[in-house]
Structure 1
Amino acid sequence: MIDTDKARDDLEKILKTKEYTVYHDSKGFIATWWDQAKEWVAAQIEKLFPAIDSARGASGPILISIIAVGIILLALSVYFLIRNSKRNRLLRGQKPLQSRKDMNWTYLRHLEEAEKHEGDEEYTLSIRHLFLALLLYFHEKGLLEARIWKTNWDYYDELRKVNQQKAELFFKLARFFEEVTYGERNVQKDEYWQFHNEAISLLSDKEEGNRL
């Protein structure tokens, strides 16, 4: 037969063990915190809507909704932080204006040079001059300040403060420009024309846009 006294003593020892008491206490703390949180939510609901009689019952689902919204907002914050950090790394290292000559040319001169290389199907060089034309055009219009020491990230950061839509398209063009110029990407004809058309769309004056 089973020794009931011994079984009872063993059970009492188990209940007194540190592992069991810690689990029991932690479970009690969580339950207590949850009840207190629901009470607080119910109290706020009663303050806002005194006519509601079932605030205590509704506090649980509302609290869950609040926590869910908080998690979503936190996730969105982390997403935008990571995205901006990634963009920063993508455009931080390269300086598009490599010499005083690049800076001293007008954007119209760069457009002419791009057109010449385009006719020779030298798309890499044409893309470079198109991008520099765009950069100096923005400089002339006061949307950013072109300097030899600045990177494309610096220009993007300046541009988005005055025109978010132009900044996003500039970012896209800057990435492609860097892949072609520094990554030695082989440019296909259709890729060139897509870059060309998007760059020209940012040159707002029709007369200038029709030059190419």
Structure 2
Amino acid sequence: MLNEGKARDQLEDILDDPEYQAYQQDPGFFSELWNKALEAIAKAIEAIFPAVEPTARASSIILIGIIACLIIALVVIVIVLVSRKVKRRKLNERKPLQSMNELEWSYKRHMKEAESLAASGNHSQATRHMFLALLLYFHEKEWLKAMVWKTNWDYYDELRKINKEWADRFYKLAIVFDQVAYGEREVDATEYASFRDEALELIKDKAHES
């Protein structure tokens, strides 16, 4: 009985200890952060809608909604970044010029071949030759150096040093070219016309003369 009484006294001493009381009352970092966030939201609601009296439940729902939106935004950003990385890898692996023969053609000859193929209904091959016409046009202007072993990423990187706007437009066309050239996409007459017009705009850009 004496030991039990002594143990009870020791337990009471521990429970009455200021450090233990402070520990029990400490809500923890995340709990405190959550409460502060709820208070901030409640004040914001009160400031925006003075007639509405914010409740803890309403503040909690809004805070959860904000957190959910942030998580969704983060997921979307990650997906976009991964998608861009995949596209860049593809652009960095594939070579637009398949033979020296294609390199020896002038850009005007590739343009003529593109129009001939488009007239016969082969819009995918027409797209390919129109892109090569653009590439060799830049080559003839000495804004990049066309080589059989180079990838479209190499060309984009070279062109970016000359003019970033042209490089960005070239990049978009290169993505379509890769999809068409490697059988990932079929191009119809309307899509080819859009691709051709964009390529011709780059070729005929008056800024090239300055």
TM-score by length of 2: 0.61
1:63 maps to none
Q: Secondary structure of the equivalent of 1:203?
A: helix
Match of 2:159 in 1: 159
Q: Residue 41 of structure 2 aligns with which residue? A: none
Q: Deviations over 1:136-189 (max 9, x none)?
A: 000111111100000001111111111111111101100001111103412122
Distance 1:170 1:98 in 2: 19
Matched with 2:14 is 9
Unaligned runs of 5+ in 2: 1-7, 30-73
Deviations 1:42-74 (A, max 9, x none): xxxxxxxxxxxxxxxxxxxxxxxxxxxxxxxxx
Q: Secondary structure at the match of 2:17?
A: helix
Q: State the partner residue of 1:44.
A: none
Deviating beyond 6 angstroms after TM superposition, the runs of 4 or more aligned structure 1 residues are 78-84
For residues 99 and 160 of structure 1, what CA distance do their matches in structure 2 show?
A: 25
Equivalent residue for 2:174? 174
- The Cα shift of 1:204 comes to 1.9
Change (3 A) 1:187 1:135: same
> How many aligned residue pairs are there?
150
Root-mean-square deviation (CA), in Å? 3.5
Task: State the distance in 2 between where 1:191 and 1:81 align.
Answer: 26
Query: Equivalences for 1:133-152 in 2 at 5 Å?
Result: 133-152=133-152
- The corresponding residue for 1:130 is 130
Alpha-carbon distance change, 154 to 190 in structure 1, aligned in 2, over 3 angstroms: same
What is the CA-CA distance between 1:85 and the residue it aligns to? 4.2
In the superposition, the TM-score normalised over structure 1's length comes to 0.60
Shift of residue 106, structure 1, vs aligned partner: 0.7
Aligned to 1:111: 111
Q: CA distance change for structure 1 residues 122 and 83 in 2, over 3 Å: closer, same or farther?
A: closer
Judged with a 3 Å threshold, the aligned counterparts in structure 2 of structure 1 residues 205 and 15 are, in CA distance, closer, same or farther, namely: closer
Structure 1 match to 2:94: 94
In the alignment, what sits opposite 1:185?
A: 185
User: Gaps (5+ residues) in structure 1?
Assistant: 28-74, 207-212
Identity of aligned residues (%): 44
C-alpha contact 2:87 2:175 (8 A) present in aligned 1: no
